[in-house]
Structure 1
Amino acid sequence: MRIIFIGTPDFAVPCLEALVAAGHEIAGVVTQPDRPKGRGHKLTPPPVKVLAEARGLPVFQPERIKHPGFVARLKELAPEMIVVVAFGQLLSKEILTLPERGCVNVHASLLPRYRGAAPIHWAVINGEKETGVTIMYMDEGLDTGDMILWERVPIETGDTTGVVHDKLSAVGARLLVAAVAQIAAGTARRVPQDDTGSTYAPLLNKEVELIPWEKSACEVRNLIRGLNPWPGAFT
């Protein structure tokens, strides 16, 4: 299938690798612009760009994916499907309705729980015993589209967000390839989400990262695990 892949961080890398390995035609890879990183503020490419260039795939790094000029460029690429994994910008309705087979997202939670930008962190911070990955069709809402596939993943007592991240990224890549195959075969399900069970996983901030010593030892431990390795808890 002819696919445009849209993603940025390490979490998205196994998904792109899996699509390439499955023989899909990657018409283009859209990722965030290079950003200054580290103490030296060296301009650093996002992980998805590094993989895409290593595989000889065309890379696009728009400041605004909704810009009319870039939307026109996406149309020229004529994708059958768009796959989005942790990109970092919202897609416009014009982009969502562009591919014939739809836009598919890999989300690192068991939807409708933990919709939003930081589902792994919040699952660990909240002391959840399990989380998972959901493959869904995208709509204009925030992680509200119909679900195709999902899989539960246990969170062990000592797991940090980094450990859970790596578990989910591997599961997400495998589920994504399966979902794309089902869509191509016309056998994919569309399971609506139950909005009454939805929860939200917002971006982290300094207030969250400050250790609340007045809370229980279990809650403090979960916070430290949930903010490890990034951004880290402080006191």
Structure 2
Amino acid sequence: MTKLIFMGTPDFSATVLQGLLDSQAYEILAVVTQPDRQVGRKKEMKQTPVKKLAQAYGLTCYQPEKLSGSQEMAELMALGADGIVTAAFGQFLPEKLLNAVDFSINVHASLLPKYRGGAPIHYALINGDKEVGVTIMEMVKQMDAGDMVAKASIPIQEEDNVGTLFDKLAVVGRDLLLHSLPAYIAGELQPIAQNEEEVTFAPNISPEEEVLDWHKTARELFNQVRGMYPWPVAHTFLAGNRFKIQQLVEVDSQGQPGQIIEKTKKRLVVATGHGAVSLLRVQPAGKPQMAIGDFLNGLGRDLQVGDYFGK
């Protein structure tokens, strides 16, 4: 039985870990995840999905703020693991730790060498890609630059957003790992080097990138909104206040960018640089997320055709 240390944080990682736990081929010696964080307005302490799963199975769980030079890393190196598997862990692994095991591989949610970094699914949607995927790769000191062990892809559907694709790719990554890992360990899979000329990056979304530019096309704004839902959520401004938009659709209409060109009790259409969009789910400043009809029948009653977003 192959002895593993697993490192991961969100639901994506928990799905991969569950696959390893369900297999009879692996023993999970320890789990490493990010520290508990305060979330929401009430600042409630929240455990990561990986920690919750580890606790359910009685696994030893480490949560170092930083692995390098930590007591936790020393303890991990003393476990005698054969290998390390990571999936959306959120930290770089020190070279000393990588050298302490026979192998270390990462389940990365992109078709490498495209989209190295922490937000590959976001950028795939924002850029209007037709497909997304998972790459199993060897871990090296440089971010997401290791040789590729296996790949699998799925098409992006019109209704997809970051949340739906994370769920889908978690299953793809789990299955790809379970299929390829035995052959990799046995030396039957020869990893392939990434083509450095094809490398692109997907860094974490910055606050500036969350802001909608109404001069973009309707399609670009559609992709931006779904490429930031359910996190971090794209926003514009209305009467000087931040106004989040969780969902919209393209419509065949024209007007001045950012201008409201149609308003009914259940429909609000805003012009873009080319085409228009109909808002479906929104969140005014200081309020919960709501359907556009609820907004228009309440806080948005005074909006008029001719008013502008983005100001």
Q: Which runs of 5+ in 1 are unaligned?
A: none
Q: Alpha-carbon deviation of 1:171?
A: 0.3
Percent identity over the alignment? 44
Name the counterpart of 1:224.
225
Question: Which of 32, 35, 47 in structure 1 is aligned with 2:34?
Answer: 32
Cα-to-partner distance string for 1:86-138 (whole Å, 9 max, x where unaligned): 111111110111111x1100000000000001000000011000010000001
Larger radius of gyration: 2
Amino acid at match of 1:77: L
Contact kept, 8 Å, 2:5 with 2:28, in 1: the verdict is yes
Name the counterpart of 1:138.
139
Amino acid at match of 1:80: D
Amino acid at match of 1:116: G
Cα-to-partner distance string for 1:150-182 (whole Å, 9 max, x where unaligned): 011110122111111111110001111122211
Amino acid at match of 1:53: Q
Distance (Å, rounded) in 1 between the aligned partners of 2:79 and 2:181: 19
SS at match of 1:72: helix
Contact kept, 8 Å, 2:112 with 2:194, in 1: the verdict is yes
Name the counterpart of 1:198.
199
Cα-to-partner distance string for 1:69-98 (whole Å, 9 max, x where unaligned): 222111111110000111111111101111
Question: Which of 43, 50, 70 in structure 1 is aligned with 2:72?
Answer: 70
Query: Relative CO higher for 1 or 2, CA cutoff 8 Å, sep ≥ 6?
Result: 1
Name the counterpart of 2:52.
50
Cα-to-partner distance string for 1:8-67 (whole Å, 9 max, x where unaligned): 111101110000111210000001111101221111111100001001111111111112
Q: Alpha-carbon deviation of 1:68?
A: 4.3
| TM-score (normalised: structure 1) | 0.97
Amino acid at match of 1:136: M
Amino acid at match of 1:43: M
Bigger strand fraction? 2
SS at match of 2:7: strand
SS at match of 2:90: coil
Cα RMSD (Å): 0.9
Distance (Å, rounded) in 2 between the aligned partners of 1:167 and 1:71: 32
Distance (Å, rounded) in 1 between the aligned partners of 2:38 and 2:217: 38
Distance (Å, rounded) in 1 between the aligned partners of 2:32 and 2:231: 24
Name the counterpart of 2:163.
162
Q: Which runs of 5+ in 2 are unaligned?
A: 237-311
For 1:37-186, what aligned pairs fall within 5 Å after superposition? 37-100=39-102, 102-186=103-187
The alignment of Structure 1 onto Structure 2 pairs a total of residues equal to 234
